[in-house]
């Protein structure tokens, strides 16, 4: 009988992709994915360590799962609990100590060893926890089963992992390890598998995706721009995106790739702060004006480009003046949407040790001010879309019967009345209304004849 596997995913898209690949890796052992933890034979929490709140969630979730596990064991059943991802990498030993119900702890670069770890954990001599937080010399991608093509109309594809940039606030270089690019041909093969299984949009993933420099089989090295143009040649693929980028790696070849029709006119390009002093303390290695210049070049290549960003307020030592520089940069750039966070000191990172930490109330005030501005920009952008017709790739059902939801080229969620048969198709939709976080529209042409119409 099939065993039930429940994976709960926190954090970035990279974790979402990894959860898919873990599911594939465990399928040969008879594990099938389920949507709820109740009755599962194995539960994996794929965790995020980026901010304090994100990490804390893991321990509170483990508390709940322990009860589930105990009641299952009382009924004579068995349940394995695994912790994967960045908290596992950063706090492996701590997890086993604080949460004895955890059977497996494994870091982001070890997922290919999962079947073997599970067998060990099921063996009685290993009660008390199997831990694997290595950074193996081999790449997990070479050992994981081939992409199964189960992701649907939109899919993630990891092309790059890890980070060598060491921004002073960030845990990623420690949790994901050194920067690594997958070989070109592996990526193209995976993209073809996805396209053949009905995927129309692929988002290339990497912690520093635009630092991508993959080898081809004849010894050349390709950047992300070249890779995007090659993927654009694959039949069936209609849309390409990539995330997350660093301003320093926004090379001309990549900027020019934005002229390609299949490369969507949306870019997430975090800048974190608008003050050169703070950017330097963050070790971002660029100035606010460098960022402005990159944005200008991008908009020259692709005038309708919608921009997104990440911001941190209250980095140690941030003065009112520094914060005003952030506000000025946001005003200059004009974002279609963005994410903003209060600085969260992370254990082991250089910024956590800076003496001049900013009081919580100041962080909250600054965050509120920044978010007010970013929200106003988002509302204005969404409002400017009303009356326009966008090509929407319907990728899921809406809340209401007869409704489908998809993404606009600019990443907005758009919902419209549409029959289920349009799921997985790109359809022209006229935007009627802008809501806080989505757009409402009407299908203009389906591009697909209904069987009745075709035979008439
Ligand atoms: N590689 C990406 C960011 C990955 S982390 C980049 O270089 O831009 C995602 C976002 O989390 C970051 O962009 C940053 O805004 C935020 N973040 C990271 N560490 C943080 C911390 N210690 N406190 C608050 N926000 C943080
Ligand atoms: Fe973190 Fe900086 Fe690397 Fe992004 S570039 S993952 S913020 S260290
Ligand atoms: Fe979080 Fe790790 Fe991603 S810390 S943001 S899950 S790389």
Q: How far apart are CA 269 and CA 246, in angstroms?
A: 6
208 lines ligand 2 (CB under 6 A): yes
Q: Tell me the CA–centroid distance for residue 185 and ligand 3, in Å.
A: 26
415 lines ligand 1 (CB under 6 A): no
Ligand 3 nearest atom to the CA of residue 86, by list position? 2
User: CATH topology for 267-384?
Assistant: Transcription Regulator spoIIAA (3.30.750)
User: CATH topology for 146-264?
Assistant: Transcription Regulator spoIIAA (3.30.750)
* Residue-by-residue pLDDT tens, the chain, 456 positions: 789 999 999 999 999 999 999 999 999 999 999 999 988 999 999 999 999 988 888 999 999 999 999 999 998 888 999 999 999 999 988 898 888 899 999 999 999 899 999 988 887 655 567 888 888 878 888 878 777 777 899 999 999 999 999 999 999 999 999 999 999 999 999 999 999 999 999 999 999 999 999 999 999 999 999 999 999 999 999 999 999 999 999 999 999 999 999 999 999 999 999 999 999 999 999 999 999 999 999 999 999 999 999 999 999 999 999 999 999 999 999 999 999 999 999 999 999 999 999 999 999 999 999 999 999 999 999 999 999 999 999 999 998 999 999 999 999 999 999 999 999 999 999 999 999 889 999 999 755 544 444 433
Q: Tell me the CA–centroid distance for residue 276 and ligand 1, in Å.
A: 17
Q: What share of the chain is helix, strand, coil (3-state, %, to 5)?
A: 40, 25, 35
Ligand 1 nearest atom to the CA of residue 349, by list position? 22
Q: Is the peptide bond before 244 cis (omega within 30 degrees of 0)?
A: yes
| CA dist 425 → 191, 228, 283 (Å) | 18, 21, 43
Domain segments of the chain: what residues? 3-132, 146-264, 267-384, 389-443
Q: Tell me the CA–centroid distance for residue 47 and ligand 3, in Å.
A: 7
Name the residue of 246, 248, 272 whose CB sits within 8 Å of the most ligand 2 atoms, as the mutation to test its pocket.
Answer: 246
The pLDDT score that the predictor gives to residue 131 is 83
User: CATH topology for 3-132?
Assistant: Rossmann fold (3.40.50)
Nearest CA to ligand 3 atom 7: 172
Tokens of residue 339, six digits? 């994410």
Q: Tell me the CA–centroid distance for residue 415 and ligand 2, in Å.
A: 34
Q: How far apart are CA 381 and CA 362, in angstroms?
A: 29
Q: Tell me the CA–centroid distance for residue 301 and ligand 1, in Å.
A: 27
Measured from the alpha carbon of residue 87, the closest ligand is 3
Helix (H, G, I), strand (E, B) or coil at 394: strand
What is the CATH number that goes with domain 389-443? 2.40.50
Measured from the alpha carbon of residue 12, the closest ligand is 3
Would 146-264 and 389-443 be classified into the same CATH topology? Answer: no
Q: CB of 170 within 8 A of CB of 346? A: yes
Q: How far apart are CA 303 and CA 366, in angstroms?
A: 31
Q: What is the pTM of this model?
A: 0.93
Residue 257, number of CB atoms within 10 A of its CB: 23
pLDDT for 353-369, tens place per residue? Answer: 999 999 999 999 999 99
């Amino acid at each position: 009988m099939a065993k039930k596997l429940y994976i709960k995913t926190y954090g970035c898209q990279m974790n979402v992709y990894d959860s898919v690949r873990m599911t594939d890796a465990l399928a040969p052992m008879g594990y099938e994915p389920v949507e709820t933890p109740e009755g599962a034979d194995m539960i994996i929490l794929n965790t995020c360590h980026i901010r304090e709140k994100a990490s804390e969630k893991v321990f509170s979730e483990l508390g709940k799962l322990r009860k589930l596990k105990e009641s299952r064991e009382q009924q004579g059943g068995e349940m394995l609990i695994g912790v994967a991802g960045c908290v596992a990498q950063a706090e492996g030993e701590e997890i086993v100590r604080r949460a004895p119900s955890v059977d497996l702890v494994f870091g982001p670069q070890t997922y290919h060893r999962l079947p073997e770890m599970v067998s060990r954990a099921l063996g009685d001599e290993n009660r008390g926890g199997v831990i694997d937080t290595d950074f193996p010399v081999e790449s997990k991608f070479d050992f994981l089963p081939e992409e199964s093509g189960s992701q649907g109309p939109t899919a993630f594809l990891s092309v790059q992992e890890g980070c060598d940039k060491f921004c002073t606030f960030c845990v990623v270089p420690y949790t994901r390890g050194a920067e690594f690019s997958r070989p070109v041909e592996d990526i193209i093969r995976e993209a073809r598998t996805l396209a053949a299984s009905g995927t129309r949009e692929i988002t290339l993933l990497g912690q520093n995706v635009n630092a991508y420099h993959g080898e081809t089989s004849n010894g050349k090295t390709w950047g992300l721009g070249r890779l995007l143009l090659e993927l654009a040649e694959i039949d069936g693929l209609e849309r390409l995106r990539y995330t997350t980028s660093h301003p320093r790696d926004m090379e001309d070849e990549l900027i020019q790739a934005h002229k390609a029709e299949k490369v969507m006119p949306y870019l997430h390009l975090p800048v974190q702060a608008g003050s050169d002093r703070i950017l330097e303390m963050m070790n971002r290695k660029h100035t606010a004006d460098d960022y402005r210049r990159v944005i200008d070049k991008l908009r020259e290549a692709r005038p309708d480009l919608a921009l997104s960003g990440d911001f941190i307020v209250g980095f140690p030592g941030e003065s009112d003046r520094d914060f005003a520089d952030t506000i000025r940069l946001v005003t200059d750039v004009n974002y279609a949407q963005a994410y903003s966070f209060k600085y969260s000191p992370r254990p082991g990172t250089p910024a956590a040790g800076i003496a001049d930490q900013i009081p919580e109330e100041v962080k909250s005030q600054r965050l509120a001010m920044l978010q007010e501005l970013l929200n106003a920009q988002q509302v204005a952008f969404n409002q400017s879309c009303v009356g326009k017709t966008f090509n929407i790739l319907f990728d899921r059902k809406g809340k209401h019967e007869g409704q489908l939801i998809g993404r606009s080229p600019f990443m907005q969620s758009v919902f419209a009345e549409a029959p289920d048969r349009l799921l997985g198709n790109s359809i022209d939709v006229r935007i009627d209304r802008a809501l806080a976080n989505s757009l409402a529209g009407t299908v203009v042409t389906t591009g697909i004849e209904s069987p009745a119409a075709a035979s008439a």
